[in-house]
Amino acid sequence: MRIERINIEEIKDVREGVDLALLDPLIEKFRDKKGKMIPLLQGTQDIYGYIPREAFEKISGETGLKLSDMFGVATFYAQFRMNPVGKHIVKVCHGTACHVQNANSITEAMQEALGIDDGETTEDGMFTLESVACLGCCSLAPVMMIGDDTFGKLTGTQAIRIIKEIRKKELKQNQPD
């Protein structure tokens, strides 16, 4: 059932560091439009990477949408997140083609390499691991997507190597010259 996707207790109450002014142009754009709820939530997620609690409250206050309706919609669709996500979102495809080509082994390798479970974010805020239904690159199964890059015909070892390379790059960037 779809509501199971979100564990309410896990939703963190992040009150700091959210710049609500960023929402203003979005709210203006959709204020009088019919069917605005989903585009507003999608737009909010585009801004923050997730939908912060106070964004729900602000949108509700300014547009008259009911909080309960908004939460109902946000928990119904797979796209919406209520928690901050890592810098890199690792999406492991679990479509049919990937499943028969052993996508589980990719997820297992990622869980081991990142030390997190499906749906969680690493403590350093670098990676979020997700399983997705189908990325539509079935001929390259098994597939995973990190950011906009798609990696196909993977093995667990290759997938771990990709993560290691990203980590290496990040380390380099963070080191002062």
Q: Which residues contact 14 (CB under 8 A, 6 or more apart)?
A: 52, 53, 84
The CA-based angle 61-16-176, given to 5 degrees, is 140
Segments in 31-155 forming alpha helices (H) = 37-48, 53-63, 67-76, 96-100, 103-114
Which CB atom, from 139 or from 173, has the smaller least distance to other proteins?
A: 139
Which CB atom, from 61 or from 147, has the smaller least distance to other proteins?
A: 147
Q: List the structure tokens of 26.
A: 């979005």
Q: How far apart are the C-alpha atoms of 79 and 15, rounded to whole Å?
A: 22
Footprint on this chain of other proteins (rule: CB under 8 A): 1-5, 34-39, 41-42, 69, 72-73, 76-80, 94-97, 99-101, 105, 132-141, 143, 148, 150-152, 156
SS3 assignment, position 131: strand
Q: How far is the CB of 93 from other proteins (least distance, A)?
A: 8
Q: How far is the CB of 173 from other proteins (least distance, A)?
A: 22
Which CB atom, from 43 or from 52, has the smaller least distance to other proteins?
A: 43
Q: How far is the CB of 55 from other proteins (least distance, A)?
A: 16
Which CB atom, from 47 or from 134, has the smaller least distance to other proteins?
A: 134
